[in-house]
Amino acid sequence: MYARNMLRGRGLVYSSLEGKVEGYSDFLMVFVDAITYGFVRLAHLPLYTVFGVGELISLPCGALIVWLIARFLQRNYSAPAAVAGTVVVVLAGPLAVWSCASLETAPFALGLTVLTLSLLDKRWSAAMVAGLVLLLLRIDGPLYIAAVIAGALVPSSAAERRTILRRVAMPLIATAAVYFSWRIIYFHRLLTTPLEAKVMYKLTGPARAITKNPASNYLLRFISLYGAPFLALAAFGWVVLRRTRRAAGIVITAAILCAYVAVVSDWMFGFRFFVPVIPLIAILTAETVDAVAARGLAAGVLATAACVLWLAHVAAVFARNFEEAEQDQKFVGAPSADPARFFSPWWSAYAALRDRVPPGTVIAYNQAGFVPFMLDADNIDDLGICSRFYAELPTQDVFYTEVGRYSPLTNKDVYSAGLAYLLNRRPTYLIERVDLLKKTNGDVPSELLDGYYRRLWSDGFNAVYIPTERDPGVFRTDPTRFLENVAHVARISRAVENGTEIPPREYAARLPFLHEQSGIVDAQRSYSLDLKFETGPVPVHEIHLERIRSSADATVTLLLWSSSGERLHEERLVLAARRHGGMHVRLAQPVIAAQATLDVANPAGTAFQLRIDDLRIQAQPPALAKYIAAHVPFVR
């Protein structure tokens, strides 16, 4: 997307809707992709060939990593140690997977390998060139470079350290200063949108943010794959048998990178962020086996054999996991030239739309790569990876995930600011993954966004929706339609249930109906929930209660209060026993409220049970109002 727009003279733009947005993390690859795209167009090849060319770049990079590591180990270690270390990279499933992908993972890992080996071999010019490539290849390149240089300083003499700083570090620091200054001037931002959307919430996000992260830590999953005993022996076995400064330096580099990757994490299969670490593990494995071989050749051969057997097992487990995750056979097991299979599961959505979508059509799809590129569409990425609007939206009533800021698509008549933006832009096609729709709605709904969109097509992975005749013009004329749920668990500073204050750490579990879920409450005669907004007094525009059910007759009252405790507004709902009720009220005039109360009373005065689903107090805090005014186009 960026390469094509750059060749069209638009600059570094993902979508013409937002202009210059740094939604990529691999600056240098944008230019490589531009060359690839230009060649494919001039040669009149199928457009999807660009992805094949990307893989043709990655595959030699993976092969070069294996060759470089093998040569380095042969020069510096005994034969058993060289074999053991080489087998680490040869049988590395993550390296194999990402050497067959069109992302920058394999080229970046090659650059880091060249930098590491060049510093160890005292080839300063080669190290500096590799560092320059790393600097421009990934936005976090400086951290990787710093980690490698820190490790390289350990085995170096005082004179060599001065040389490293003068001939490698200083030129790279100067280049980084120029590059990052240009970035800030060009994009007017320090951080990229991928960092803002899927990383920063882990560091600076709200304390009670609702997150959808993997069950276990990224680093722990990688350790589980290779086995903690193997990695521990590889990383530290040499310490017991023979201490070397080179190995100590590699451990420092690997530790820094593993700590960083553990925080950043990644949702894709294959541990792509650990690929640059695998060559380091190979060197450490060689260090340990070499120390064993120094005690006797037979011991070294046995250690190598054990490494080979274990790594073969790890590779087999990784291959099984790959087939399960991708729900497809490996290419070597069932080779095919069919693009529908090669680009599954995204190809089906592209095939369904390619004859319907002229270039420049506005669509919305949070799988921001293949389909929008193939359709040549202006895409709205509502996860925020390639959209500054979503990445920087100052709201917290979302699900924070490792793929971005997620707002579920439903057919409810209440909208977060992100969903209101979709209705403001009114994309011609709204595409969503079927599994996400089913998880949120129970099935694939025939309509979305309270009937503004209807389903056109769906298969097992994607569903495509098109606008109905219902006019969303109010979202293009009224900024106060862009609201945030200030009663969301991430936005309340105090919650008192039946007179007892709830500890903040229990908000999410005890009050699921305050983050778009449903919850069951057992009540004695009555139930009350008092909420204080973290935002302070804010203009409330809407009150929404998706559904509430009581086991007995009940009266539901929702009240808004000022910060001083003055009652400002009241909505009431009468429930018959075991019948569902709900409310959605758009206030004629906004009410400046700082607190809200949900009160449910049973006239009979007996115990009863409530099921509450998705309670929202929809307001527009000042930061959101300012943001919407600056970033959303309105018809005046």
SS (H, E, C) 288-347: HHHHHHCCCHHHHHHHHHHHHHHHHHHHHHHHHHHHHHHCCCCCCCCCCCCHHHHCCCCH
Mapped onto helix, strand or coil, the DSSP state of residue 246 is helix
Q: Pull the structure tokens for residue 158.
A: 């005082």
**Sign of the dihedral defined by the CA atoms of residues 65, 67, 72, 78, in that order:** positive
| Backbone angle region of 503, left / alpha / beta, with phi > 0 → left and psi within -120 to 50 → alpha | beta
Half-sphere exposure of 522 (CA within 13 A, CB side): 0
**Cα(9)–Cα(381) distance, rounded to whole angstroms?**
22
Domain ranges of the chain: 2-205+212-326, 342-479, 484-619
Mapped onto helix, strand or coil, the DSSP state of residue 39 is helix
Which whole-number Å values give the CA distances from 173 to 133, 142, 159, 162, 381, in the listed order? 13, 9, 20, 15, 34
CATH classification (class only), 484-619: mainly beta
Contact 113, 89 (CB under 8 A): no
Q: Which amino acid is at 111?
A: G
Contact 183, 22 (CB under 8 A): yes
Low-confidence residues of the chain, pLDDT below 50? none
Strands (E), 173-290: 210-212
State residue 241's pLDDT score: 60
Residue from 320, 312, 199 nearest 261 by CA = 199
Pairing of strands 526-533, 595-601: antiparallel
String of DSSP letters for 395-441: ---SEEETTEEE------S---HHHHHHHHH--SEEEEEHHHHHHHH
3-state helix, strand, coil in the chain (%, to 5): 50, 20, 30
The string over 427-455, giving b where at least 16 C-beta atoms fall within 10 Å of a residue's C-beta and e elsewhere, is: bbbbbbbbeebeebeeebbeebbbebbbb
State residue 331's pLDDT score: 53
| 134: Cβ contacts below 8 Å, ≥ 6 apart | 108, 111, 112, 115, 141, 144, 145
State residue 330's pLDDT score: 54
